[in-house]
Each structure stands twice: as C-alpha cells, then as structure tokens.
Amino acid sequence: MKRTIGFYGAGNMAQAIISGLINSGFYQKEEIYVYNHRYEPTLKKVEETYGIQVILREEELFQQSDLIIFAVKPTILTQILPQINPYLQKEHVLVSIAAGVSIQQIEKLTGPHKIIRAMPNTPAMVNQAMSSISPNKLTTQEEIQLVVDVFDSFGKAKVVSEELIDAVVGVSGSAPAYVYLFIEALADGAVLEGLPRDDAYEFATQAVLGAAKMVEDTGKHPGELKDMVTSPKGTTIAAVQSLEESNFRASVMKAVEAAAKKNHEMNK
C-alpha cells in the first residue's frame, strides 16, 4: 500500500522525516505535501531544499494527502484539530508526533478516525531516529505497517502499546540528552588527564558510537560486551568500580523514571 503523504508543520522534525523519505527512495518528491501553520517563509525554504509540493491552504493538504503527519507542538495540535475537522475523510490516517497528547485526546477533538501516535527522537536529523508507533483500533495492519515503513526511512521504528509511551520517552525520547551529558563528562575527564579538548570530544564520541554499534551488530548482551573489556585488575574494571560507587546505573534508571513520570503527567 502506498499513499500520498502530507505534513502539517515544516519544522526540524518534519524536515528530518521528509529528508529520510526522499533519501531512502520510499517516497518521491511529488508524493509529499507540506503545509506550515502561519509561517510561509519556512515553506519556501523547505520547497527549495527538498523540491516537494508546498500547500498554502490547509484544506488543500487534506484533499491531496491520505496520510497526514502532524509535526507541530502539542499546544498547536490541540488548537488546530477542531478547525480541520471538516476536511477529514474516513480514509485519512492521522499521525501525531506531539508529545503529551494522547490518542484519546485526539479522538475527542476529531471524532472517530484512524489515529497513530509516533514518538521519534532528535537523531532523526541524522537519519538515526528510534521511533515508537502506537495505533488506535480503527487503523488496519496495512496502514500501521505503512507508518512503520515511513519512520524506518530515517532510523528504526517499532510498534508499541500507547500505555508504554512513558517508558519509550524515558529510554529513547529524552535519552539523547543523557548521552550528550555522558560524552561531555567523558571528554572532561580526558581533558583533566591532559588530552586537548577537541581530541577529547572526538575520542569520547567515537567510543560511544562504536560501543552502541557493537551492541547493535553483535546481538550480544551489553553485560557480556562489558565483560569482554574488563580484564582482571585492569583499567576498565577500576573505572567500572568507580562508576558503581557513584551509583551510575541507579542514576540512569532514575533519569529514565523521571522522564517517564513527567510524560505521564503531561498526558493527563
């Protein structure tokens, strides 16, 4: 199944998705439409950069597109949904990437429609996103797979129950920030030991990137890979001991829990 795709919003995340769709060849430029709420200069930039179809009237976006991705902030989404109701058709599949707006909230504002919540993270901008896909009961398996394929085009996507979105936010949505803090801390430690700042960031970044790739490519448990590095009485086990004494794992778990809790509160 292939449908024309429309973007309501043309910000960074929308552009990351558009770039992924075009670069992967999953969608052609003439199959992609975009409308930007109240800010036409952004549309001009998107048109020049990607060569896709720019829409100046929101009702036309729904006339031209079967699959609609709402790439706007949560407050904007709840404002626009009631006003676009007259344009919605039974065959439309509505995809929201707005954090904190539940499927139930969307249904209250639109009525019964095919609705999917998607939660990509910011590495979408370098085609390395991890996205969760949570459909409502009106969405068919074929339509769900189409949306998974769309989000796979700029990273990876996995179908999860909406009730697990809080956990997804903690482990994926907010997680890039934890990793950036970790890279910064690694680099600071190296600078403390005399490594120039630029070199420190390069070594730290590549170490994190390589370690993540090892987990992905080998399929081994992270604990097993850790054990492969920690030689008896070696440097790594000394560092691991220091991290454990500082409650490293417990601190990370609490960070995931805090993000999940905050997201849960936003969804109320």
Instruction: Name the binding residues.
Output: 71-74
Q: Which burial class, exposed, middle or buried, applies to 66 when counting CB atoms under 10 A from its CB (0-12, 13-18, 19+)? A: middle
d(CA 244, CA 249): 7
Please enumerate, by residue number, every residue annotated as part of a binding site for NADP(+).
Answer: 71-74
Q: Tokens at residue 258, please?
A: 């805090």
Q: How far apart are CA 222 and CA 215, in angstroms?
A: 6
Q: Which of 55, 40, 13 is nearest to 150 (CA)?
A: 13
- Give the amino acid at 58: E
Q: Does residue 179 contact residue 208 with C-beta atoms inside 8 Å?
A: yes
Close Cβ partners of 106 (under 8 Å, ≥ 6 residues apart):
77, 81, 94, 96, 115, 117
Residue 159 φ/ψ, nearest 5 degrees = -80, 125
- Report the C-alpha gap between 157 and 146 in whole angstroms: 11
**Where do we find the tokens 């048109």?**
47
Is 48 strand, coil or helix?
helix
Q: Are strands 67-70 and 93-96 parallel, antiparallel or unpaired?
A: parallel
Q: Are 13 and 97 in contact (CB under 8 A)?
A: yes
